[in-house]
């Protein structure tokens, strides 16, 4: 692997997508037949939401080298985003048969299937993820979400969310999601119990303003003034970030 390609992968792994793109373009200009370079180009374009470009790069890479799991999943997702729904679904299901695929990668496949309206398939893949990695909290939480979409009773979703919380008790999003379900079930007090002990750091982790408003209502009802203040401050931060993001996109590419 050339130094330029190594730096491109490092930048991509660090989330510096624009830097990774510049580096891999430079590398491919010098070596246009490097399959791993095209694989990275496809992953970068996929992360940027340039799905047609991702398909083109990943298909080219696949003619040169065997695609690695992340690239295969990204290609299937990109097919779905570019109108090749049946092909995407077939590839997603095919990839689940790969015993080398990590549980985290299976959850990405489940999310891709849900986008393609194959919720039953997403639920099945989440079950497989819990078998492959029984201590992965996200797998149980996602399985509960898909179970609800499939029409299973709310109690099943609640049970799976509680399992996720048991495995990762500090994960704020699990508690907020289950609190929302309990509110729908008319169990406001039980919903509050899930979020009554949130720290300021946990409040600041929340990036969904509607989720934050939901728990803010619970804290207001309970007279939990300290957490109300934390939540209101966080909402102001999120609003400022949205304005900043819009301004940045107007000046970007």
Q: pLDDT tens digits, residue range 81-92?
A: 999 999 999 999
109 within some domain: no
103 within some domain: no
Contact 57, 28 (CB under 8 A): no
Confidence tier at 253 by pLDDT (50, 70, 90): very low
pLDDT at 16 over 80: yes
> What backbone phi and psi angles, to 5 degrees, belong to 14?
-85, 0
Q: What is the pTM of this model?
A: 0.86
13 within some domain: yes
Confidence tier at 241 by pLDDT (50, 70, 90): confident
Mean pLDDT of 113-131: 97
Task: Name the domain boundary from 79, 113, 128.
Answer: 79
CA diameter of the chain: 64
pLDDT at 252 over 50: no
Alpha-carbon distance 55 to 200, whole Å?
A: 42
Closest C-alpha to 175, from 121, 232, 252, 227:
227
94 within some domain: no
User: Could you tell me the CATH number of the domain that includes residue 7?
Assistant: 1.25.40.10
Identify the pLDDT of residue 1.
65
Mean pLDDT of 134-161: 97
58 within some domain: yes
Confidence tier at 196 by pLDDT (50, 70, 90): very high
User: Could you tell me the CATH number of the domain that includes residue 234?
Assistant: 1.25.40
> What is the separation of C-alpha 190 from the centre of its chain, rounded to a whole number of angstroms?
27
Mean pLDDT of 74-102: 94
Long-range contacts, 107-110 (Cβ 8 Å, 24+): 107/138, 107/139, 107/142, 108/73, 108/77, 109/73, 109/76, 110/142, 110/146
Per the prediction, the chain carries an average pLDDT of: 93
Identify the pLDDT of residue 246.
61
42 within some domain: yes
44 within some domain: yes
Domain range for residue 192?
Answer: 153-243
Domains of the chain: total? 2
Closest C-alpha to 68, from 45, 102, 93:
102
Residue 28: burial class (beta carbons within 10 Å; 0-12, 13-18, 19+): buried
Task: Name the domain boundary from 18, 48, 79.
Answer: 79
Contacts of 129 (CB under 8 A, 6+ apart): 103, 104, 106, 107, 110, 136, 139, 142, 143
Identify the pLDDT of residue 245.
63
Identify the pLDDT of residue 142.
98
Contact 24, 5 (CB under 8 A): yes
Mean pLDDT of 15-30: 95
Task: Name the domain boundary from 45, 61, 79.
Answer: 79
Mean pLDDT of 40-50: 97
Q: Which residue has the higher pLDDT, 219 or 3?
A: 219
Identify the pLDDT of residue 3.
85
232 within some domain: yes
Confidence tier at 250 by pLDDT (50, 70, 90): low
């Amino acid at each position: 692997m050339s130094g330029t390609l190594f730096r491109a992968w490092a930048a991509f792994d660090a989330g510096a997508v624009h830097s990774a793109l510049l580096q891999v373009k430079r590398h491919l200009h010098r070596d246009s037949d490097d399959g791993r370079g095209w694989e990275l180009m496809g992953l970068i374009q996929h992360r940027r939401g340039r799905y047609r470009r991702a398909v083109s790069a990943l298909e080219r890479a696949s003619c040169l080298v065997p695609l690695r799991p992340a690239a295969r999943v990204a290609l299937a997702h990109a097919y779905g985003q570019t109108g090749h729904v049946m092909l995407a679904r077939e590839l997603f299901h095919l990839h689940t048969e790969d015993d080398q695929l990590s549980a985290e990668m299976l959850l990405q496949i489940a999310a891709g299937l849900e986008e393609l309206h194959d919720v039953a398939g997403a639920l099945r893949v989440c079950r497989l993820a819990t078998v492959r990695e029984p201590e992965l909290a996200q797998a149980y939480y996602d399985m509960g979400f898909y179970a609800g979409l499939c029409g299973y009773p709310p109690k099943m979703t609640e049970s799976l969310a509680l399992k996720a919380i048991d495995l990762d008790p500090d994960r704020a999003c699990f508690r907020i999601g289950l609190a929302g379900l309990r509110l729908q079930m008319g169990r406001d007090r039980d919903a509050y119990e899930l979020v009554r002990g949130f720290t300021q750091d946990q409040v600041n982790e929340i990036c969904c303003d509607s989720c934050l408003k939901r728990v803010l209502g619970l804290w207001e009802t309970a007279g939990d003034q300290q957490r109300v203040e934390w939540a209101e401050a966080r909402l102001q931060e999120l609003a400022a970030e949205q304005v900043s993001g819009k301004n940045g996109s107007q000046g970007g590419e």
